[in-house]
Amino acid sequence: MKHFLVKSVVARALIAGGGRNFNRQLLTAATTSPELKLRHVGAIHNSGYWPRMSTLAPSSGEKDQKEENGNAVVSSYWGITRQKIKREDGTEWPWNCFMPWETYRADVSIDVTKHHVPKSFSDKAAFKLVKFLRALSDLYFKERYGCHAMMLETIAAVPGMVGGMLLHLKSLRKFQHSGGWIKALLEEAENERMHLMTMVELVNPKWHERLLVITAQGVFFNAFFVFYLISPKMAHRFVGYLEEEAVISYTQHLEAIESGKVENVPAPAIAIDYWRLPKDATLKDVITVIRADEAHHRDVNHFASVSDIQHQGKELREAPAPVGYH
């Protein structure tokens, strides 16, 4: 039966006539058939289509369902099963929100003191605006470093999503490649969101802080959307300065940990897996890697601002996007 199923899938794929379609359908057949999955994984892997299959455990979702429901096999109508994935040490991968191939070791050697000196009018305006927002948040949070970081992350994860979305729409409208910038900006948004998912493990926001987050998101998303439409260059510069402030905030957070003002608690499990930290990692290690991420975002956004306008006649898509730059 399974062989018949695969044969018909292969035949349909050939009739459809695209190599990529063929791979896609063969992959579906392979992943829904436990025997064929193992047989075809090598071919798919070698074709470069899905190299991440190497992290899969040999058991299939279908087998799991069999185990969970006695001997009755419950097949998913849509063919979607959650594959069993393991860590390098053989333990089961516990996260659905990110996968082992999305984890990385942060480059903590990045210069955290770099600053773009504002020269043009728009640079100065962006810098002043960020400093004003910084003063407001300092007034509200004072020395509550955890809450401050959490609030910062709810804002910091917005620009990448807005910029990525607008570049995506532009690519569709103009039938143009994005030069990798859509992916790079969406990666930044996802990375910032992971910072937030880490911080909420450590901080329990109060009701008025949650209210502030909702209000700030409503205002900031719309304001940044309009801002990016009017001037992507200035919007990226603004984010560059926002990231500089994030680096400063996390440096102060680290100083508070070192001085004993903030307890150096064990790192949350999600952070250990996401940044591939040692099992005995602490808050200090987590803040150090987050600060390194912020420094990378700072560089990406200042770079995006320069390449968009200062090279007159060039667009952002013509500058190579730093995809996977953390």
Residue 223 CB, nearest approach to Fe ion (Å)? 18
> What is the C-alpha end-to-end distance of the chain, expressed in Å?
47
- Residue 233 or 253: the one with the smaller Cβ distance to Fe ion is 253
Taking CB under 5 A as the criterion, the residue among 62, 285, 294, 308 binding Fe ion is 294
- Give least dist CB 149 to Fe ion, A: 8
Answer yes or no whether residue 302 interacts with Fe ion by CB under 5 A: no
Q: Please identify, using beta-carbon distances, which residue of 62 and 294 lies nearer to Fe ion.
A: 294
Q: For residues 115 and 225, what is the distance between their CA atoms, to the nearest angstrom?
A: 25
For residues 205 to 244, the per-residue mask of contacts with Fe ion, x marking binding by CB under 5 A and - elsewhere, is: --------------------------------------x-
Could you tell me which stretch among 45-53, 104-112, 149-157, 170-178 binds Fe ion (CB under 5 A)? 149-157
**What is the greatest pairwise CA distance in the chain?**
71
Provide the minimum distance between the beta carbon of 246 and Fe ion in the complex, in angstroms, as a whole number. Answer: 5
**Contact predicate 305/298, CB 8 Å:** no
**Binding test (CB under 5 A) with Fe ion, winner from 123, 187, 192, 308:** 192
Name the token pair of 323.
């995809």
Q: Does 245 help bind Fe ion (rule: CB under 5 A)?
A: no
- Coil vs helix vs strand at 93: coil
Task: Candidates 40, 134, 291, 297: give the one binding Fe ion (CB under 5 A).
Answer: 297
Shorter beta-carbon distance to Fe ion: residue 41 or 281: 281
- φ/ψ (deg, to 5) at 293: -60, -45
156 by DSSP, 3-state: which?
A: helix
CA nearest neighbour of 285 among 245, 250, 243: 250
- Residue of the chain from 156, 158, 166, 202 that contacts Fe ion (CB under 5 A): 156
User: 117: which DSSP letter?
Assistant: P
Task: Specify the amino acid at residue 83.
Answer: Q
Least Å from the CB of residue 131 to Fe ion:
17
Residue nearer to Fe ion on the CB measure, 26 or 300? 300
How big is the site for Fe ion, counted in residues (CB under 5 A)? Answer: 7
Q: Are 270 and 197 in contact (CB under 8 A)?
A: yes
Applying CB under 5 A, which of residues 37, 40, 195, 317 lies at the interface with Fe ion? Answer: 195
Residue 7: is it exposed, middle or buried by C-beta count within 10 angstroms (0-12/13-18/19+)?
exposed
Q: Strand, coil or helix: what is 29?
A: helix
User: CB of 238 within 8 A of CB of 303?
Assistant: no
Please, which residue, 26 or 292, has the CB nearer to Fe ion?
292
Which residue type occupies 15?
A: I
Tokens of 243: 């990231």
3-state secondary structure of 208: helix
Determine the interface stretch with Fe ion among 62-70, 263-271, 287-295, 306-314 (rule: CB under 5 A): 287-295
- Shortest spacing between CB 32 and Fe ion, in angstroms: 38
Stretch that binds Fe ion, among 13-21, 89-97, 184-192, 251-259 (CB under 5 A): 184-192
Nearer to Fe ion, 285 or 294 (CB): 294
For 226, other C-beta atoms within 10 Å of its C-beta total: 12
Residue 282, strand partner residues: 266
- Of the ranges 15-23, 45-53, 159-167, 291-299, which one interacts with Fe ion (CB under 5 A)? 291-299
Nearer to Fe ion, 123 or 294 (CB): 294
Which residues lie near Fe ion (CB under 5 A)? 153, 156, 192, 195, 243, 294, 297
